[in-house]
Amino acid sequence: MTGLVAFTVLVGLVGLERVAELVVSVRNAAWSRERGGVETGLGHFPFMVVLHTGLLVGALVEAWVRRPEVPSVLAWSMLALVLASQGLRWWCIGTLGRRWNTRVIVVPGLPPVRSGPYRLMRHPNYVAVVVEGVALPLVHAAWVTALVFTVLNAGLLAVRIRAEDAALATLPEATAGTATAGAAGA
């Protein structure tokens, strides 16, 4: 039971982290819009919010209903991945600064960001989302939630990345390996 309570606290902390992201996102989206930012990809956004909320709720429900035995090596290794994904996510947020938000908003005329994790890979925030979507539920062996989220998120990311790449292509000097649009973290 202690592990289940600790897992509940962890999921609650991730939920609070999401609230912090939303505060930053709303402020940054307003900043972008004030500078003529253009939003695209509106159709998939509600599904993204539901899916990411469902990850947290699903992991808790599965853990409390199934009450699986959790090998320590699984719990600790997945916790390490959750923490690493949070680090990567906040590195992305810090690198994009005022340009980061959970939506796809591009401010015309601003050059693409080519620093931080964006110098290493095209969509680093989505790497964080994928890793967290697998690892967070598996901290308490909630493999059904991890599997369902991963499959649904793959479809969502196909749509999201296509919308984001199209928006980024409108920027001056837009090339592969750059980013300035929002990055999923709702």
Residue boundaries of the structural domains of the chain: 2-168
pLDDT in tens, 87-142: 999 999 999 999 999 999 999 989 889 999 999 999 999 999 999 999 999 999 99
Count of C-beta atoms within a 10 Å radius of residue 65? 10
DSSP state of 173: T
With a threshold of 0.85, does the pTM exceed it?
A: yes
- Residues 6+ away with beta carbon under 8 Å from 162: none
**Residues ≥6 apart with Cβ < 8 Å to 41:** 103, 104, 159, 160, 163, 164, 167
> Can you tell me which residue has the tokens 């930053």?
24
Q: Are 81 and 155 in contact (CB under 8 A)?
A: no
Expressed in angstroms, the distance from the first to the final Cα of the chain is 30
- pLDDT value at 159 more than 70: yes
**In sequence order, what E strands does 10-138 have?**
38-40, 104-106
**3-class secondary-structure state, position 170:** coil
Fold of 2-168: Four Helix Bundle (Hemerythrin (Met), subunit A) (1.20.120)
